[in-house]
Structure 1
Amino acid sequence: MSYLDQLTRAHQGGPRLHKSIEVAQSLDEAYQFQSKLIKLETQNHNHLKGYKISLTSKETQDLFDAEEPLYGALTEDSVIGGQLQLEHMSEPLIEVELMFLVKEDIHPEDDEMDIIRKTQVAPGIEIPDSRYEDWFPHLSLNQIVTDRAVAGKVVVGEHKHDLTFEQLNSINVSVTLNNELIATGHSSEVLGNPVYAVKWLAQQLAKTGETLQSGMVISSGTFMMPQQLKKGHYNVHFEGVGEVSLEVN
């Protein structure tokens, strides 16, 4: 069985891969594998829904000796409501991020104001998960990229109208589990401003002829260090933006 077949089977709930399995010898090759994986996964009407951006802070980059962010594709089954069964996941984490909902195609030459005009912003939760065993923080960058930047699930809250660049640069977030505060964070952790992350993504996708299209969702980067996902009720408050919740059973 080929590497891509193994990874595809793992994405579909089959056996996960051992950390010793690595095929891509460079990030470029890893993104090529990711593209092939997405083509295989979307053959069964599980269409491309958007992208997630990883390693958008120095702290998370240092975990993997990275010098820039990574991106991974989100398929339609990646976007869920506010309920999740823990047993359906492998080794999930939780992150809190702003979700950019694309209203108009974003091009690599678009500046920050263009991106704000072409998107709506919503509070969000990301559940990274991998098709590799014992993955965090032990995988190589190439393995992470090949595995769709460990894309798991995302929860998208209600979008907020008319947020400015300055507001997006100064958002505090608080995370509770069963009403107990477990984490705080700030939007400046995401490349200084989450809009910069979206701009970076548009420029990276352009290198392979891809674009951020209307209807897509972009999970733009975590405000906090990832934590292990546990059973219970999570509530995330984004100051000036709104709240989003997740019930994990």
Structure 2
Amino acid sequence: MSTADELYEAYIEKVPLALGSIDVQSIEEAYQIQDQVLKLKTEDNEEVLRGYKVSLTSKETQEMFDHDEPLYGAYTQKNIINNASLSDYNIPKLEMELVFLVQEDLTAEDTVEDILGKCMIAPGLEIPDGRYEDWFPHASKYEVVSDSAVAGSVTFGNSEYFNYKDLDDIKGTLKYNGEVIKQGRSSEVMGHPAEAVKWLVQKLHEEGKKIEAGWIVSSGTFNLPLDLEEGLYEAEYENIGTVTLEVK
């Protein structure tokens, strides 16, 4: 069984792999495996590519995974949710993120201002989840990338167009059952979330890929991942708005 087959089976059967059980030796190979797993999802499980997520957008998380730039993973329609059930995940975490809703195809020539003109932006919450036992923070960067950058789920609220200043160093506040449990800032996301999206566009262009109208991009976390638990989460972002997520 190939590495891609192992990861796909773990995804379908919800039976995680042991850390270190897949043999991946480079980031390039890891992205190839990610592509193979996505092909299995689309061909065998009738999933449709709907966008991407950007991970390791802060120096702190890059140091944790011994890497010097962000990573990306693919989202299908099954990753986009309204509510969540813990039974659907392995070891789910929670992150505050802004979600870019792409209205026009993004190109390698786009500036951050172009990207903001082509995308509506929504308050979001991401649930990272890996197909490995005890994956955070113990999975290798190769395991993370192979597993679509531990894509779990993402949800988002109402979207609008915003300019660069609207998103610059804004505060995000996360509440759990009405109590504040975490705060973070957009500057953790490569200095500015639009910079993370620009990085993704360039990275995909180098690989002959692009981001199409109708897709989404989860741009990177304001905070280190928290354990996901049953209850009601609410994330509020300065200038942007609020999103809620009920977990059962």
- Could you tell me the TM-score, scaled by structure 2's length? 0.97
What pairs up with 1:132-147 in 2 under 5 angstroms?
132-147=132-147
1:1-32 CA-to-partner distances (Å, cap 9, x unmatched) read 33221110111134211102132211011101
State whether structure 2 residue 10 is matched by structure 1 residue 10. Answer: yes
State whether structure 2 residue 202 is matched by structure 1 residue 203. Answer: yes
- Could you tell me the TM-score, scaled by structure 1's length? 0.97
Q: Please report how far the alpha carbon of residue 167 of structure 1 lies from its aligned counterpart in structure 2 after TM superposition.
A: 1.5
State whether structure 2 residue 244 is matched by structure 1 residue 242. Answer: no
1:36-57 CA-to-partner distances (Å, cap 9, x unmatched) read 1101111132000100000001
Instruction: Look up the match of 2:26.
Output: 26
> Given that residues 120 and 160 in structure 2 are in contact (C-alpha distance below 8 angstroms), is that contact kept between their aligned partners in structure 1?
yes
What pairs up with 1:171-210 in 2 under 5 angstroms?
171-210=170-209
Instruction: Look up the match of 1:47.
Output: 48
> Given that residues 53 and 69 in structure 1 are in contact (C-alpha distance below 8 angstroms), is that contact kept between their aligned partners in structure 2?
yes
State the Cα RMSD in Å. Answer: 0.9
1:125-157 CA-to-partner distances (Å, cap 9, x unmatched) read 000001111100001111100000000000011
Residues of 2 paired with 1:232 and 1:63: CA distance? 29
> Given that residues 111 and 198 in structure 2 are in contact (C-alpha distance below 8 angstroms), is that contact kept between their aligned partners in structure 1?
yes
Instruction: Look up the match of 1:58.
Output: 59
1:153-180 CA-to-partner distances (Å, cap 9, x unmatched) read 000111023x111111131110000111
Number of equivalenced pairs: 247
Q: Please report how far the alpha carbon of residue 183 of structure 1 lies from its aligned counterpart in structure 2 after TM superposition.
A: 0.2
Q: Which runs of 5+ in 2 are unaligned?
A: none
Instruction: Look up the match of 2:36.
Output: 36
What pairs up with 1:70-85 in 2 under 5 angstroms?
70-81=71-82, 83-85=83-85
Runs of 4+ in 1 over 6 A off after TM superposition: none
Which amino acid in structure 2 is aligned with residue 54 of structure 1?
Answer: S
Instruction: Look up the match of 1:103.
Output: 103
Q: Please report how far the alpha carbon of residue 88 of structure 1 lies from its aligned counterpart in structure 2 after TM superposition.
A: 1.6
Helix, strand or coil at the partner of 1:188: helix
Helix, strand or coil at the partner of 2:63: helix
Query: Is 17-26 or 195-204 further displaced after alignment?
Result: 17-26
> Given that residues 49 and 76 in structure 2 are in contact (C-alpha distance below 8 angstroms), is that contact kept between their aligned partners in structure 1?
yes
Residues of 2 paired with 1:110 and 1:101: CA distance? 16
Residues of 2 paired with 1:25 and 1:207: CA distance? 20
> Given that residues 103 and 120 in structure 1 are in contact (C-alpha distance below 8 angstroms), is that contact kept between their aligned partners in structure 2?
yes
